[in-house]
Amino acid sequence: MTALLRTEAITKAYGGVQALSGATVAVEEGTVAGLIGPNGSGKTTLFNVITGYARPDAGQVLFRDRAITGYAPDKVFAAGIGRTFQLTRIFPRLTVIENMLIAAQSRDRPKNLLAGFGRGAWTQHRRHAQELLAFAGIERHAEVLAGSLSYGQRKLLELAYVLVADPAVLLLDEPAGGVNPTLINHIADRIRLLNAQQGKTFLLVEHNMEFVMGLCSTITVLESGADVVSGPPEIVRTDKRVLDAYLGTDVDEEEEDAQ
Amino acid sequence: MAREITQAIVDGILVGGVYALMAVGLTLIFGVLDIINVAQGVLVILGAYLSYSLFTKAHIDPFLGLLVTVPAMFALGVVIHWAFIRRLRGTERTSMTLLVTYAVGLIIEGILFKVYGASTVQLTTSYTNSSVHVLGFYIGWIYIWGFVLAVALVVALYALLYRTKFGRSVRATMQDETAARLVGIDVNRVAALTFGIGVAVTAAGGMVYGATNAFNANSGYDLISRLLSIIILGGMGSVGGALGASVLMLTLESVVTVWQPTWAVAVYYAVLVVVLLYRPTGLFGRQAVRAQ
Amino acid sequence: MSLEAGKKAPAVSAGSAGRGGGLVLLAALAVLFPIIFSNPSVTNYGVLTMIFVTAATGWNIFSGNSGYISLGQAVFYGSGAYAMGIAARDWHIQGTGVFALLPLSGAVGALIAVPFGLVALRVRRHTFIVITLAIFFIFQLMAFNLWFTGGSSGLGSPFLSWSPVSYNRSFYYIALAFAAGSVLVAWAVRRSRFGLQLRAIRDDEERARGLGVKAMRVKLGAFTISGAITAMIGAVWFYYLNQVEPQTGFNPLFDLSLVLMVFLGGYGSVSGPVLGALIIEPLTLWLNTQPAFSGSVSEIVLGAIFLLVVLFLPRGIIPTGGELITKIRTRGKPAVIPATTVGPPSPVSPGRSVSSGGTL
């Protein structure tokens, strides 16, 4: 059985910098997978390539065994892959609920221009949006301008956002970054719930090791733009290559000297 | 016909050098400050009027007069930056500064109208109408001197940018403002001084423009539309691009004028539209246009 | 949740009742204006002000909502004026029949907006401003030089031999109708899905695109609506003054005035442009009648006011005023609930169906 979402040997260079040099990652359906690696290892670039915000120089992105390489972001979104951003990208001058409605409006096309002015379909979208906001835990801020939310609340909004289109796969870019411990647990909780109750597949980029180890069933390690190790947390945690990647080969030499 | 066209090409190149001066200032300002200084056209006219007044009232030769007008315009640029532009922050900064400079330009234009009236003038000295006869073509002396001046100033600008510490700070700020700040560069000072330099070159450009064209306070609009086309064509922020585009556009206009004088100026807009349709970052320009 | 909804409701209805009453009063005043002040020199102010209310609202429908500042609205204004003039001259239309040409001007505006927008809306915002300027200059050039536009002396319109009082009054009501109509359109856009998409584009166009918003279509739609409105009111202006020349129909100060009005009153809001026009236009007209403020000085004053507004009132009177009022009303209460209070986890996860009941 092939993975729900996978990449094959993605390479991508930005000017002189080789961001990705053969990244092959596979995410099985119904799992919560993690993507870790030191800074600059290409994690966000890989996300950008998968979700259409960047074009790879080589390699493929396959979703349900269909190549979606180079698809524009809205097509990727429509195909069923949702994505959050590391630096939250919300619409600051719209209210929280309006933010949700923008994500929702892509789901159906109005029959003609005039219908675009109508309010009918909106009541349905509104209700759905409010449910999702409640799930994320920020429903009481629905009428507030999104720009005045705190960082943590924005992260929750991004989560609610990405759920609007009911995606099969969610790519979360540092969902626990810069957020207080209570909120981290809340987010982890939401992810577990979505995974267990709705079978949603997750791919998380994270630096918070505890978060990743505690949540993910498979972890892939990226280093210098290529995948280095992939496996369950216990294996990855103790793999020498992972330690090398994070701490550099000096650790290796020190150990040899000590012997 | 061939003779006329060749004369037009020669004219175009020479005048292009002069426009390069004004365009380089504009593109420098954009590269460092992310500002589109639409007042640049009016400032050229101000420089022209200043040289004109110095000559007609105090009988100071225009080239010598630059020793006065260039520092004066530099100071004006710094003041404008300090008073109006420095305060603007935020995500829509580029658009807002465009509006602000538009307004500043309008004010200066109004003042010029009030002071000098609506009639056109031209800076005429003993040498502005004499030309040299080379290979059967007439080349006005003023254009030659103007071109030489332009080249000299551009070279000086390059020297400033690439050989001095200040120039290094300018280029650093151009590339990444935050990084420049982190390295200890006083970005505000760099911005103010760069704006001043950008405006100062208009003094020189203005003098030559005033010596070669009849102008009044209204002439700024014509100028700014050409300058904007030039820097967009050459790539906003690219000094070399401004140079190349100036010569190219002026030569093109000059040649088109041989056939169709009325519509020649439309050449700028047409080229602008075509370029932006196919290469939104300009022809020569780098990809350095920052996201607004 | 229900408790909060209860707490919110009375405040909202009291506010909207107040606003509703205010609107009715305003409407009544607007309608009665030329009857109360029948002096033609006063009603002249009214006509031109209403024209600018329309133009400013039209400008805002596109620029205010999308964040793309256009300095080329004069293209539509002048084109609408010229379209009516050319049609009236070539089709020999006289008298009140000329009014029937208004939709033609609107159509011309829309037709120009499409290619104009297709070219201009592909680029970044600051380059967009520059392109609108360039296209403006092209049109001015064409007005001076094309064979059918009457050159630098422009075009005249057929005369209506009415008395000054009824002439101004009629034009006032027409302009008022347009003003009210454009405000209605602005309001409809604001509340609609279309308007929401526009505002999302304003905040983060790339993200909006990534979420499926058809950015070009939306922008072009708003641009066309704005263009059509501006063209029609330009035609009204032309017929009122009986004349258009290249430098009056395509006047660089026109766009700056619009921008000033909208920024002053409140960029992006529906009532902002109205307020801005109500303040700036009468002021400009009055300044022009003062001998000390001959043409060039009004430029200086306009530019100076604009600088002041942009530097000190960046969001305009209405939003800033609105914020002030909200601050006064909610004195002491925190504006946004602090970050630590994240809602209790909902035991039921939201299902695909809307009618999941849930614990809302």
pLDDT in tens, A231-245: 888 888 788 777 776
Phi, psi for C69 (deg, rounded to 5): -75, 120
The Cα of A257 is separated from the nearest Cα of chain C by a number of Å equal to 49
Q: How far is A18 from chain C (nearest CA, A)?
A: 24
pLDDT at C73: 93
Q: Quote the minimal CA–CA distance from A240 to chain C in Å.
A: 39
Instruction: Supply the mean pLDDT for chain B.
Output: 82
What is the predicted pLDDT for the residue at C216? 92
What pLDDT does C185 receive?
Answer: 94
Over residues B229-247, mean pLDDT: 82
CA distance B163 to C279: 53
Q: Is A107 exposed, middle or buried (0-12, 13-18, 19+ CB in 10 A)?
A: middle
Q: Which residues contact C259 (CB under 8 A, 6 or more apart)?
A: B99, C59, C69, C71, C306
Contact by Cβ (8 Å): C64, C262: yes
Residues of A numbered 216-255 whose beta carbons fall under 8 angstroms of chain C's beta carbons: which are they? none
Inform me whether the pLDDT recorded for A159 exceeds 50. Answer: yes
Interval C173-207: pLDDT, tens: 999 999 999 999 999 998 888 899 999 999 888 88
The count of C-alpha atoms lying within 13 angstroms of the C-alpha of C337, restricted to the half-sphere facing its C-beta, is: 14
Chain C residue numbers touching B233 (CB-CB < 8 A): none
Q: Could you give the CA distance from residue B221 to residue C247 in angstroms, rounded to a whole number?
A: 13
pLDDT band for position A248 (50/70/90)?
low
Question: A171: which strand partners?
Answer: A83, A203
Q: Are strands A32-36 and A201-205 parallel, antiparallel or unpaired?
A: parallel
Instruction: Name the more confident of B37 and A114.
Output: B37
How much is the mean pLDDT over chain C? 79
Per-domain boundaries in chain C? 40-251
How confident is the model over A6-18, as a mean pLDDT? 84
Identify the burial level of B224 via C-beta atoms within 10 angstroms of its C-beta, where 0-12 means exposed, 13-18 middle and 19 or more buried.
buried
Average pLDDT on B210-239 reads 83
Closest CB to A198 among C200, C211, C349: C349
- Among candidates C196, C337, C338 on the partner chain, residue whose Cβ is nearest the Cβ of A98: C196
- Asked if the model's pLDDT at residue C60 lies above 90, the reply is yes
How far away is chain B from the Cα of C305, in angstroms, using its nearest Cα?
9
Grouping H, G, I as helix, E, B as strand and the rest as coil, residue B9 is helix
Taking CB atoms and an 8 Å cut-off, how many pairs form between chains B and C?
Answer: 117
pLDDT of A211 above 50: yes
Report how far residue B3's alpha carbon sits from residue B136's, in angstroms, rounded to the nearest whole number.
Answer: 9
Report how far residue B25's alpha carbon sits from residue B17's, in angstroms, rounded to the nearest whole number: 13
Q: Is B65 helix (H, G, I), strand (E, B) or coil?
A: helix
Greater model confidence, B92 or B192: B192
Token code pair at residue A14 = 């930005």
For residue C35, what pLDDT band results from cuts at 50, 70 and 90?
confident
Kindly give the residue spans of alpha helices, DSSP state H, lying in B117-186: 141-163, 165-175, 177-182
Does the interface ipTM go beyond 0.90?
Answer: no
Residue A15: which pLDDT band, with cuts at 50, 70 and 90? confident
Across the interface, which of A105, A140, A189 has its CB nearest the CB of C197? A105
Tell me what percent of the residues of chain A surpass a pLDDT of 70. Answer: 87
Side chain identity at residue C113, one-letter code: A
Q: SS3 letters for B227-287?
A: HHHHHHHHCCCCHHHHHHHHHHHHHHHHHHHHHCCCCCCHHHHHHHHHHHHHCCCCCCCCC
Predicted confidence (pLDDT) per residue in B60-81, tens digit: 888 888 889 999 999 999 999 8
Contact of C55 with chain A, judged by CB distance below 8 Å, is answered with no
Q: Do B102 and C310 touch (CB under 8 A)?
A: no
Q: In Å, how far are B57, B104, B195, B216, B268 from B115, measured between CA atoms?
A: 14, 17, 25, 11, 31
pLDDT of residue C208: 87
Q: What residue type is assigned to position A24 of the chain?
A: T
Taking CA C272 as the corner, what is the angle to CA C271 and CA C276, rounded to the nearest 5 degrees?
Answer: 120
Q: How far is CA C46 from CA C40, C131, C300, in A?
A: 9, 33, 24
Residue A177: partners with Cβ closer than 8 Å, 6 or more residues away: A86, A206, A207, A208
Rg of chain B over all Cα atoms, to the nearest angstrom:
19
Q: Count the neighbouring beta carbons within 10 Å of the beta carbon of residue A185.
A: 14
Token pair for A119:
């309010």
Specify the pLDDT at position B280. Answer: 64
C303, B291: Cβ pair inside 8 Å? no
B115: contact with C, CB 8 A cutoff: no
Strand partners, A4: none
Label residue C325 by pLDDT band (50, 70, 90). low
List CB contacts (< 8 A) between A110 and chain C: 193
Q: Cα dist. C130→B227, B230, B269, C254 in Å? A: 11, 12, 11, 16
Confidence (pLDDT) at C211: 81
- Per CB-CB distance under 8 Å, the chain B contacts of C304 are 103, 107
User: Which residue has better confidence, A1 or B65?
Assistant: B65
Q: Which residues contact B172 (CB under 8 A, 6 or more apart)?
A: B179, B180, B183, B185
Contact C345 A78 (CB under 8 A): no
Q: Which residues of A122-151 are buried (b: 16+ CB within 10 A; e: fewer)?
A: beebbebbbbbbbbbbbbbbbebbbeebbe
- Using a CB-CB cut-off of 8 Å, the residues of chain A touching C189 are 117
Alpha-carbon gap: B136 to the closest alpha carbon of chain C (Å): 35
Rounded CA separation A218/A198 (Å): 19
Residues 105-144 of C with CB under 8 A from A: none
- Find, in chain B, the residue whose alpha carbon is nearest to that of C144: B262
A35: exposed, middle or buried (C-beta count within 10 Å: 0-12, 13-18, 19+)? buried
Residues of B in contact with C119 (CB under 8 A): 273, 276-277
Beta bridge partners of A67: A62
Rounded alpha-carbon distances, angstroms, from residue B105 to B38, B99, B165, C65, C126: 7, 10, 32, 27, 17
Is the pLDDT score of C314 beyond 70? Answer: no
pLDDT band at C352 (very low <50, low <70, confident <90, very high): very low
Q: Any chain C CB within 8 A of the CB of B221?
A: yes
A87 touches chain C (CB under 8 A): no
Euclidean distance between CA atoms C236 and C251, whole angstroms? 16
Rounded Cα gap, residues A158 and A133, in angstroms: 10
B contacts of C298 (beta carbons < 8 Å): 110
* Conformational region of residue A199, where left means phi above 0, alpha means psi within -120 to 50, and beta covers everything else: left
Q: Is C131 on the interface with B (CB under 8 A)?
A: yes
How much is the pTM? 0.80
Rounded-to-integer distance, Cα A29 and Cα A218, Å: 12
Chain B partners within 8 Å of C134 (Cβ): 225, 228-229, 268-269, 272-273
Q: Per-residue pLDDT tens for B130-168? A: 777 877 777 778 888 888 888 888 788 888 888 888 888
